[in-house]
Amino acid sequence: MPNHLQTGIYTVTTTFVNSGITCVNSNTTYVSVNPYLQYTITPYVKALLQYLLTISGPAGASGYTWTSSTGNTSFSPNSQDLVLPVLSPDQSGTYVLSASLGPCVTTPVGDPECAKPISYTMTPPGRSICKGDTVLLEVGATGGSEELCL
C-alpha cells in the first residue's frame, strides 16, 4: 500500500532491440499519494424510541456525507456526527458515512435500530390510603429493548 512518502516523480524506460538496432524511450510522471482517514463507526446500534441517538464520525475530515437506506433526511447530512434527536421507527435502517480527506474517501456503515421503551402498568391504577395503612400494588411491564418498533 503506497504512503505519502512515495509521492514524487517516476520514470519509466523501455528498450527495444531488433536486428542489431536498439531503441530506448522514457517518460516521466508525477504521482501524488494522498492520505485517507482510517476509522470505523459503530456497526450496529439499538436505541430507544423517542430518545437521542448520536453516531460519531472521525475528526479531521475535510468533508462528511451521511446517507440513509430509508431516505431519511431529518438529520444534518454534512455533519461529522449523525444526530437523531428524537428517534422514531422510520429512522431505523442503514446509515453510511463518507468522510473525505482531500480527494480520498472512506465509507463505513452504521445500522441503528429503534427499540420500544418499557411500558409499566400498575393495579390499582390510583389509590388513596392513610398513613399506616398497607396496600398491595401489582406492577406489569411490556416492551423494552427486545420488542422493536418496526
Domain assignment of residue 25, yes or no: no
6 conformational bin, left if phi > 0, alpha if psi -120 to 50, beta if neither? alpha
Cα distances (angstroms) measured from residue 102 to each of 57, 59, 74, 99: 16, 14, 27, 10
Q: Domain tally for the chain?
A: 1
Domain boundaries, position 63: 44-115
Q: Which of 54, 66, 45, 56 is nearest to 114 (CA)?
A: 45
Looking at residue 62, which CATH number applies to its domain? 2.60.40.10
pTM above 0.75, yes or no: no
Strands 104-106 and 8-18: unpaired
Any domain includes 106? yes
Backbone angles phi, psi at 11, to 5 degrees: -120, 135
> What does the pLDDT profile of the chain (150 residues) look like in tens digits?
566 678 889 898 988 888 888 899 999 999 888 877 888 887 777 777 788 888 888 898 999 999 888 888 778 888 999 898 888 877 878 888 889 988 888 887 766 666 666 667 777 777 777 888 777 777 777 766 554 444
